[in-house]
Amino acid sequence: MQVPVMADMAAQEKKPEYLFWVGCAGSYDARYQRVSRAFVKILNHVGVDYAVLGPEETCNGDPAKRAGNEFLFQMQAIQNIETMNMYEVKKIITACPHCFNTLKNEYPALGGNYEVIHHSTFLQELIDAGKVNLKGGGSFKGKKITFHDSCYLGRANGIYEAPRKVLEALDADLAEMKRCRTKGLCCGAGGAQMFKEAENGKKEINVERAEEALETGAKIIAAGCPFCMTMMTDGVKHFEKEEEVQVLDLAEMVAEDLE
């Protein structure tokens, strides 16, 4: 797979328009690696001028900050800002709402000012601009799909419509959950919960959410966040529905239908 890397581009004195920030999940999580590859497939297909940091990328610091380790967060942030400023990065696209939120909202206070775009917005813009044409009808046509709002995309940054527009473009039958948009229910993994066991309670949050998603009767649960992806997949498994119900990222769905 052809993925341009910033260091190589710099060696050729090229400054790509976009940095694709892959994120830790997109780099290491076997499931989300597939999303990174799907997104790259789209970028390559459309001919977007981009590159990734590759080995030079490191955790943006979101889980550290939210767990309370502001020190570690700022160490990470300053390191990343130095790298990105060295390559004179102006625009960043990322498929992770946690990276998106941190780079967009929390890096400016530490000297990192970039235009940061979540891949759902980017995909919507490509579709609107007619740059992504989907195969006649598409494999998702008329399929019942429900979209799980990621807190860090939705409530944290007010992005509710872009992912839904992408699903509309796929001609899918969008079914909303009872708790959606501003009222969306967390998958349970934000605030660094992804990296520890949940506190004692009577239920797991992702089970509650998966139950709600399954109630819509959707065959596909669409997500736009690696944490949500993991949590919803586990939730679906909890109900032993993994044979019937898929959890897919928006980029995977678009990539599958590329003309």
Partner 1 sequence: MIQSILFLLLLIAGFGFFGYQLKSIIQNIKLGRPEDRSDRPGERWKNMILVAFGQQKMFKRPIPALLHLAIYVAFIITQIELVEIIVDGISGSHRIFRPLLGGFYTFTISFIEILSVLAFVATLAFLIRRNLLKLPRFHMDEMTGWPKLDGNIILYLEIMLIIFIFMMNGGDEALYNMAKTHTVGAAGEAGSFGFSISKILGPALFGGMSEASLHIIERIGWWGHILVVFTFLNYLPISKHFHIMLAFPNTYFARLEPAGELTSPQNIQEEIKAIFDPSYQPAEDPNAPNRFGAKDVTDLSWKSLLDAYTCTECGRCSSVCPANLTGKKLSPRKVMMDTRDRMQEIQQFKLKPDDTGMMVPGNGVEGAEEAAKNTLLGEKYITEEELRACTTCNACVEACPVMINPVDIIVELRRYLVMEESSMPEEWASMSNNIENNGAPWAFPAADRFNWANEE
Residues 21-60 that bind partner 1 (CB under 8 A): 22, 24, 26-29, 33, 36-37, 40, 52, 54-55, 57-59
Q: Which two tokens stand for residue 160?
A: 């509710």
Nearest approach, Cβ of residue 175 and partner 1 (Å)? 21
Nearest approach, Cβ of residue 172 and partner 1 (Å)? 26
137 interacts with partner 1 by CB under 8 A = no
Beta carbon nearer to partner 1, 136 or 196: 196
What amino acid is encoded at 239 in this protein? F
Pick from 9, 106, 216, 241 the residue near partner 1 by CB under 8 A. 106
Nearest approach, Cβ of residue 244 and partner 1 (Å)? 25
Pick from 137, 142, 182, 242 the residue near partner 1 by CB under 8 A. 182
185 interacts with partner 1 by CB under 8 A = yes
Please measure the distance between the N-terminal and C-terminal CA atoms of the chain and give it in whole angstroms: 18
- 247 backbone dihedrals φ, ψ, rounded to 5°: -110, 120
**Whether 57 contacts 77, CB under 8 Å:** no
What is the size of the binding site for partner 1 (CB under 8 A)? 71
Chain position carrying tokens 């050729």:
12
Region near partner 1 per CB under 8 A, out of 72-80, 135-143, 237-245, 246-254: 72-80
143 Rama class: left (phi>0) / alpha (psi -120 to 50) / beta? beta
**Whether 202 contacts 159, CB under 8 Å:** no
**Whether 33 contacts 252, CB under 8 Å:** no
Beta carbon nearer to partner 1, 14 or 28: 28
- Three-class SS state of 144: strand
188 interacts with partner 1 by CB under 8 A = yes
Among 146, 164, 142, residue whose Cα is nearest residue 214: 146
192 interacts with partner 1 by CB under 8 A = yes
Q: Pairing relation of β-strands 91-94 and 50-51?
A: unpaired
Q: Which two tokens stand for residue 153?
A: 């995309």
Nearest approach, Cβ of residue 108 and partner 1 (Å)? 9
Region near partner 1 per CB under 8 A, out of 10-18, 102-110, 135-143, 216-224: 102-110
105 interacts with partner 1 by CB under 8 A = yes
Region near partner 1 per CB under 8 A, out of 18-26, 123-131, 218-226, 249-257: 18-26
Window 198-237: residues binding partner 1 (CB under 8 A):
198-205, 208-209
Alpha carbon 100 to its chain centroid, in Å, reads 8
Window 147-166: residues binding partner 1 (CB under 8 A):
151-152, 155-158
Nearest-angstrom CA–CA distance, 172 and 146: 9
Q: Which two tokens stand for residue 91?
A: 């625009």
